[in-house]
Amino acid sequence: MNRQSRAAALLAFALAGLPSEARAQIGRVAGTVVGEDGRPLKGATITAENPEQAPNTFTSTSDGKGRFSILGLRRGLWVFTIQAPGLEKASTRLEVVTTKPNPPLNVQLLKGQAPAPPGALAGLDARDIQQRIDRAAAFAAAGDHGGALTAYRELLTRAPALTALHLEIGAMHERMNDPAAALAAYKRLAEIEPSNGRARAAIERLERQ
């Protein structure tokens, strides 16, 4: 039995000793991680974070078939970060429930995007840009989706070359229950980058709803 299996077994044993009321408050999120070619990724790291819960961080690793599972999550909004060496990090938010199964979290990690054309960020302070990104992400992590949306928009106006911000803007609109605005943000990115897989996936998902 490997380390991950032993950890899962120990957690399951511990949960079995809890009263039924406590077990009912525990959620599980499982899914798969694949690469750009669609093949399963082994060894990808999946981190779940929610500053309002204790413990507020859980970590899992994908197996040889790209599968992972995180057990022990309490109800609330969790931010999942998925990363693997040489690939672009992915982040998504999921409202975890404990009264029924959570939807599978299936993620495709893409190769890092090509750098912006020379001069695209000319005249901008890289440290200022990073601070603005961190500020917007902090708003989002704290549940202040309106604040995050404003911060991302201001940053996009300041640095239009950071086209991936359209994904964050779309995500904030979704958290604010405005799918039409979210769809518009994703479509805008698809116009700029027709080959952007995340934009296409988001558009297809929202148009099916």
Tell me, letter by letter, the H, E, C secondary structure of 73-113.
EECEEEEEEEECCCECCEEEEEEECCCCCCCCEEEECCECC
| CA atoms of 172 and 167, how far apart (whole Å) | 9
The count of structural domains within the chain is 2
Same domain, 88 and 185: no
Same domain, 66 and 132: no
**pLDDT tens, position by position, 141-200:** 889 999 999 999 998 888 888 888 899 999 999 999 999 999 999 999 999 888 888 888
Q: Is residue 113 part of a domain?
A: no
Same domain, 103 and 9: yes
Find the domain containing 133 and state its range.
126-208
Same domain, 41 and 133: no
Which comes out higher in pLDDT, residue 43 or 10?
Answer: 43
Q: Is residue 41 part of a domain?
A: yes
Same domain, 154 and 80: no
- Sign of the CA dihedral 132, 75, 94, 86? positive
Please count the other Cβ atoms lying within 10 Å of the Cβ belonging to residue 177: 9
| CA atoms of 88 and 159, how far apart (whole Å) | 20
Residue where the block lists tokens 């999550």: 73
CATH number of the domain bearing residue 152: 1.25.40.10
Q: Is residue 196 part of a domain?
A: yes
Phi first, then psi: give them for residue 157, nearest 5 degrees: -65, -35
Lowest mean pLDDT among 5-14, 47-56, 77-86, 151-160: 5-14
CATH number of the domain bearing residue 41: 2.60.40.10
pTM assigned to the model: 0.47
Q: Is residue 174 part of a domain?
A: yes
Residue where the block lists tokens 């672009």: 88
Same domain, 98 and 132: no
| CA atoms of 38 and 123, how far apart (whole Å) | 39
Question: By percentage, how much of the chain surpasses pLDDT 70?
Answer: 81
Residue where the block lists tokens 């949306």: 149
Q: Which of 78, 108, 138 is the last residue of a domain?
A: 108
| CA atoms of 199 and 190, how far apart (whole Å) | 6
Cβ–Cβ under 8 Å, residues 206 and 182: yes
Same domain, 24 and 103: yes
| Average pLDDT over the chain, rounded to an integer | 82
